[in-house]
Amino acid sequence: MVLVSYLNPLSEEGQNIVRGLSSLDDIFNPNDDLMDIVIHTNRQTISNQEYVPVTFADLAINRIKWYIDRKNNKDFNPNNYAYFFNERIAEYDTIAFHILAQAIASQFKAGSREIKLFVSSYGLMVEDRLTKLLETDKKELVEEILNDLLIQDGIEWTFLKELIGSKKLSLTDLVLQNGEIVLDREEFIYSFGDEFSDRSPERIYDILIGDNLKEMILSKLLMQKSEEYIKHIQDMLRTIEPHPAIVRLGEMLGESITELMTKYSSFYATGGAYGHMEIGKLVREAFPPCIANTVEGVSSGGRNDAIVLLLTSFVSYARLYPGIFGADATVKVSDIDSNLNITMNEILPLIYEAADNCTPPLFEDQPQEKINITSKLGFGMHETPDLEHEGETKWYTPMSCEKIKMHLPQLCKENKDCSKINNPLSYYSRMKWIMAKTGKNKDSSN
Ligand code: SF4
């Protein structure tokens, strides 16, 4: 019999398992029983120690590593993490889930990349585990967990609007009553039993409310619960200090995530005519004339657009993602600058300095332009960027030379290098490349 906590570590059963852990200090001690399950899992790779967890802390970190690898590695080998799909791992994995949640909640802010990774990795693990379970076990577990969760709350159909929007689910797949989704067999028969005279309501229930729908709702509900759990831990951490072992795990996790994301990130190696366009410190000497003029301050008309539209997008992409025009996916600031340290300490100071150099200084008579700058970085209409608001607006991409010449002609003072490019960002990458080649920019890649 598969444990409920194999899918729902937040269940009553899961919480009892965690209470059985004698001390949090143990999470860094080798655990023979855990290793025994791992190495005796069918098809598990054991030749590479990187994948074999020895401690609870390893198992917790590997949950995230598995997800990043599974999503990004074209040659992903499921046998490296086969133990996650061995039902015997349930007790150990439940502890790993809880210490991981605590480490993430104590180390990273709401809305951070790490919290999103935690929630998404859990959702995908539930989905993958469901596909590997025996049909009878799966049915039983799904029913039991859904009953448990749905006794607590009904679900409005809007809860599934993302799935409906992504076409994984159609509104017509749902049976609704007063806007709430009917999933429970008894409730269905009670509410709609009288409507069917020629067929049994039980049979109709089986046809209408299929397993696929229940599984989708289950993984979505569990992801939501895991997000609430992180929030709950963070509320508690306002009054109590996290355990040192949890702090240590959080730090190790941060390092592992950054290392893996760097490995798979396209932000670091987009290639192109000027070699790798790496993120790196801003090199003012490589700015094109239009940007250099803006940084010195704009006194005539177009001051607001020069700072808010031209400079904000240029500086942020030049610093974080100079290869944007070669990318085929949308990107957010936090995908590269996960805790906004670069944004707050390097990008905004340069933009604010340029705003101050304007005549009159931009924020003196138009302080609301700070909100517009935040908005152009993708963080909504707020005074300063905050991860919680990321995505409320889009990260505005740099203007082309053609647009600058049309809207801000006073800033375009073309020089000989401008003839080879059609965007200030390309100018910047080219100049950095030339400077690095000629030894004028020794600090072009950090
Ligand atoms: S040609 Fe383009 S890069 Fe050069 S100054 Fe004009 S707008 Fe800037």
Atom of ligand 1 nearest to the CA of 291: 8
- DSSP string for 205-265: HHHHS-HHHHHHHHHHHHHHHHHHHHHHHHHHTTTSPPPHHHHHHHHHHHHHHHHHHHHH-
Residues 422-440 have a mean pLDDT of 88
Atom of ligand 1 nearest to the CA of 288: 3
What's the gap in Å between 313 CA and the centre of ligand 1?
A: 15
Residue 338, pLDDT score: 84
pTM of the model: 0.68
Q: Which phi-psi region, left, alpha or beta, contains residue 232 (left: φ > 0; alpha: ψ -120 to 50)?
A: alpha
What's the gap in Å between 398 CA and the centre of ligand 1?
A: 12
Are 393 and 306 a contacting pair, CB within 8 Å? no
Binning pLDDT at 50, 70 and 90, where does residue 272 land? very low
Which of 315, 402, 404 should be mutated for ligand 1, with most atoms under 8 A from CB?
A: 404
Are 347 and 314 a contacting pair, CB within 8 Å? no
Q: What pLDDT digit, counting tens, does each position of 106-157 carry?
A: 998 887 888 989 999 999 999 999 999 999 999 999 989 988 887 555 677 7
What's the gap in Å between 409 CA and the centre of ligand 1?
A: 9
Amino acid at 278: E
What's the gap in Å between 362 CA and the centre of ligand 1?
A: 23
Helix (H) or strand (E) holding 176: strand 176-177
Residue 149, pLDDT score: 80
Binning pLDDT at 50, 70 and 90, where does residue 271 land? very low
Atom of ligand 1 nearest to the CA of 413: 5
What's the gap in Å between 374 CA and the centre of ligand 1?
A: 25
The whole-angstrom separation of Cα 277 and Cα 336 is: 14
Residues 294-310: b if buried by 16+ CB within 10 A, e if exposed: bbebbeeebbebbbbbb
Which of 296, 418, 420, 428 should be mutated for ligand 1, with most atoms under 8 A from CB?
A: 418
What's the gap in Å between 439 CA and the centre of ligand 1?
A: 24
Comparing 80 with 327, the larger pLDDT belongs to 80
Residue identified by tokens 């076990």 is 137
- The set of residues, in sequence order, having a beta carbon less than 8 Å from that of 398 and lying 6+ positions away, is 310, 313, 314, 317, 324, 423, 424, 425
Which of 407, 414, 419 should be mutated for ligand 1, with most atoms under 8 A from CB?
A: 414
Return the residue whose CA atom lies nearest to atom 6 of ligand 1: 412
Atom of ligand 1 nearest to the CA of 404: 7
Ligand 1: residues with CB < 6 A are 288-290, 401, 404, 412-414, 418, 424, 427
SS3 177: strand
C-alpha 28: how far from chain center: 27
Question: Nearest 5°: phi and psi at 19?
Answer: -60, -25
Are 374 and 381 a contacting pair, CB within 8 Å? yes
Residue identified by tokens 């969760």 is 149
Residue identified by tokens 């993430």 is 104
What's the gap in Å between 159 CA and the centre of ligand 1?
A: 48
The whole-angstrom separation of Cα 121 and Cα 135 is: 23
Return the residue whose CA atom lies nearest to atom 3 of ligand 1: 424
As a whole number, the mean pLDDT across the chain is: 87
Q: What pLDDT digit, counting tens, does each position of 307-355 carry?
A: 999 999 999 999 998 888 776 567 899 988 888 989 998 899 999 999 9
Q: What pLDDT digit, counting tens, does each position of 181-192 carry?
A: 887 778 788 888
- Adjacent-strand bridge partners of 176: 181
Comparing 389 with 274, the larger pLDDT belongs to 389
Are 336 and 279 a contacting pair, CB within 8 Å? yes
Task: Name which of 255-269, 282-296, 336-350, 402-416 the model is least confident about.
Answer: 255-269
Comparing 143 with 31, the larger pLDDT belongs to 31
What's the gap in Å between 276 CA and the centre of ligand 1?
A: 22
The pLDDT of residue 160 is above 80: no
The whole-angstrom separation of Cα 136 and Cα 128 is: 16
What's the gap in Å between 289 CA and the centre of ligand 1?
A: 6
Q: What is the 3-state secondary structure (H, E, C) of 120-162?
A: HHHHHHHHHHHHHCCHHHHHHHHHHHHHHHHHHCCCEHHHHHH
Return the residue whose CA atom lies nearest to atom 7 of ligand 1: 401
Atom of ligand 1 nearest to the CA of 415: 4
What's the gap in Å between 430 CA and the centre of ligand 1?
A: 13
